[in-house]
Chain A
Amino acid sequence: MSTPVSTVSQPAPAPAGTATPAPRLRASRRRSPGRPRRSMLLTALTGLVLLYSLVPLVWLVISATKTQEGLASSFGLWFNGDFALWDNIKETFTYNDGVFSRWLLNTVLYVVAGAGGATLLAVLGGYALAKFTFPGKRAVFAVVIGAVAVPGTALAVPTFLMFSKMGLTDTPWAVIIPSLISPFGLYLMWVFATEAVPGELLEAARIDGAGEVRTFFQVVLPLLAPGIVTVSLFTMVATWNNYFLPLIMLKDPDWYPLTLGLNSWNAQAATAGGQPVFHLVITGSLITILPLIAAFLLLQKYWQSGLAAGSVKE
């Protein structure tokens, strides 16, 4: 899934060079890097991007405080008289016999097993590809790069038919197993391990008598920590937001992740005799994104150093 990549690259100052006229660029280069020149244009542009990213979030928070009737009768970007956030949260967790909690637990299961497993595999594979030479390595490289370019969506239907033959559809395995594969994570880990793990260190460990397994866990793993966090964030976001794969694989609402569950609540408004519960869909969405926001904020430090890996050649 390419979404996380684009979100991350957004704040990068790359467009600044193109937006600023050339002479100014030269002038700013002369200044000391510690005190970069302020540019009104840049600040305004960054402000716009900030606004662009924050407005939907603000809308979501504000709308989550409204009742179903309040949603229809008030302006979207400001509060309504009735503050119903707590009621909404309570109703979200109790509506349809509390199925929301079930969806939440399902999502956690898919993320822990799917994203966790994907990270583990990416770390093992990335390290092996970076530090060992073996025949066929170039072929593996080509396959991985090719796989990065294939969107998961395109593979969903063939995967469905295959899983259906194996009798795995409509079970959690149908979501977890395809989530275990993250070509992008593997590639990232590969690049990261090439840069972060010096070959000399591995040689030293081997000379000191450490076996390959011990070398991996005691020497390599700590060095890879920032990369691991980065990859696990990527795979976590991808699995947490996964919609199409579970949509195809699962029929039983008891195994739905949050994305599908919220969509089924949303679709309820469009059927004869269905009850519109937009307020619960909105509150549910807010609850759904909170863990992701928390993960990003808590792991920010690692995230940044992980992204910068390999960008500068020392």
Chain B
Amino acid sequence: MHMNPRRLLRGLALVSALALGATACGGSDDGDAAQKAVSAKDIDAALEKGGNLTVWAWEPTLKQVVADFEKEHPAVHVKLVNAGTGNDQYKALQNAISAKKGVPDVAQIEYYALGQYALTKGLDDLNPYGADKLADKYSPGPLNAVKAGTDKIYALPMDSGPMALFYNKKVFDKYKIKVPTTWDEYLTAARDLHKADPKAYIANDTGDAGETTSLLWQAGSRPYKVDGTTVKIDFSDAGAKKYTEVWQKLIDEKLLAPITGWSDDWYKGLGDGTIATLATGAWMPANFASGVKAASGDWRAAPLPAWTAGDKASAENGGSSLALPALGKNKELAYAFVEYANAGKGVQTRLAAGAFPATTADLQSSAFQNTEFPYFGGQKANKVFADSAANVAADWSYLPYQVYANSIFNDSVGKAYVSGTKLTAGLQSWQDASVKYGNEQGFTVQK
């Protein structure tokens, strides 16, 4: 989900923002020790009294949720600000936290980035507000993500991205290729397809940190182990080997289209058959419907190929949550809004607008599972996604500075895509750079 032209600017700002973040981390005393329990009565009273809320989010479905919320609580005024997408917003948020001014009351934060804010005490623990009672509403992947390796809950999951394999059925049928159920079959399919049509590729990949970490997750690799400020990074476990073996062949045999995700070329490739599959999160159908209209009816969803035949393990890709920055104001109101949007009525509003749920009840409801997707030729794709959600291994964790780590992914692992560097060597240098940076930031990082 990254766009290349701005990487330089982003890098600059991140370096400075994170440098500032480190001082903030050292300077802030135990804010959460002072955090008091907030009863449901306090929250109701706050809603009655009203006030202003600033919400930083780029999620499009929140617009309607805000309107409904304001209607229900006329005294509350919510200002929904799109302060940038992903990295742009994290940079803005980190800057605001460093400056201790202009921090929003609620912020959208992707799961992979949550640890960075949670473990530097940038976010409130939501348990004292009553989030502990909501915990069992969410599917394992997102719930584990918002806990960030602790027994606290730093955000309420907004959506989730259990992975599936989207494939262009028209292309597969045309060349009579079987839909792969294992990654070995995937490799074979990639060879067959590219041989049959040199312009077609099984997938696009120019190096994407989110995709790589998700596939490692599925393969059973656990490269990051986080315990407070002690971090371990290791890309050489058995799971990582499974991944690099297959992916190295895909790269070496030039079976991956050199197209960067989310670019206009990518949308084009998804539409004209150049890119035949996409292993990604279950939120993708909405993007297919709005961005790849040309291929409506061509695509289907299938379970993610397994690393060992018969293995059902899945992983999450993307997805985000709503959190309360510690320096925000109007905490009761802020929590009330987050609960409304991510556990209350807002969930249905957002699902109706095409978002993918993180709530187990919705994932398992028959209405949800029996929804037919006209885009997928009437397929009840949610069944595939719900199965995937149930099979997500919940013991994965990201680095407490994953935003930075991902920003340097292309300088290390990215080399494997454009030069003779091997994927394992690329991961090794990513590991080294991440260890070095972590130690500089005051973490104790071991290889």
Contact = CB atoms under 8 A, between A and B. Distances in A.
17 contacts: A72-B267, A72-B294, A160-B95, A169-B101, A247-B84, A248-B92, A251-B56, A251-B96, A267-B85, A267-B86, A269-B267, A269-B291, A272-B284, A272-B320, A273-B283, A273-B287, A276-B291
Given A73-B272, A253-B82, A270-B1, A276 B290 contact: yes
A161 to B, nearest CB: 6
Nearest to B89: A251
Interface of B: 1-3, 6, 9, 12-13, 16-17, 20, 56, 58-61, 81-86, 88, 92, 95-96, 98-99, 101-102, 159, 161, 261-262, 264, 267-268, 271-272, 281, 283-284, 286-287, 290-294, 318-320, 353-356
A271 B272 contact: no
Given A264-B85, A268-B85, A274 B99 contact: no
A272 B12 contact: no
Contacts of A273: 59-61, 283, 286-287, 353-355
Contacts of A271: 1, 58-60, 85-86
Interface of A: 69, 71-73, 153, 156-157, 160-161, 164-165, 167, 169-170, 243-244, 247-248, 251-253, 263-264, 266-276, 278
B293 A164 contact: no
A244 B9 contact: yes
Contact of A276 (B88, B92, B267): B267
A88 to B, nearest CB: 15
Contacts of A269: 262, 264, 267, 291
Contacts, number: 125
A2 B356 CA distance: 46
Contacts of B267: 72, 269, 276, 278
Contacts of B95: 157, 160, 164, 248
Most buried by A among B13, B58, B264, B268: B264
Given A153-B12, A248-B13, A272 B159 contact: yes
B354 A251 contact: no
A248 B99 CA distance: 12
A290 to B, nearest CB: 22
A76 B181 CA distance: 37
A274 B287 contact: yes
Contact of A157 (B3, B13, B159): B13
A272 B281 contact: yes
Nearest to A63: B264
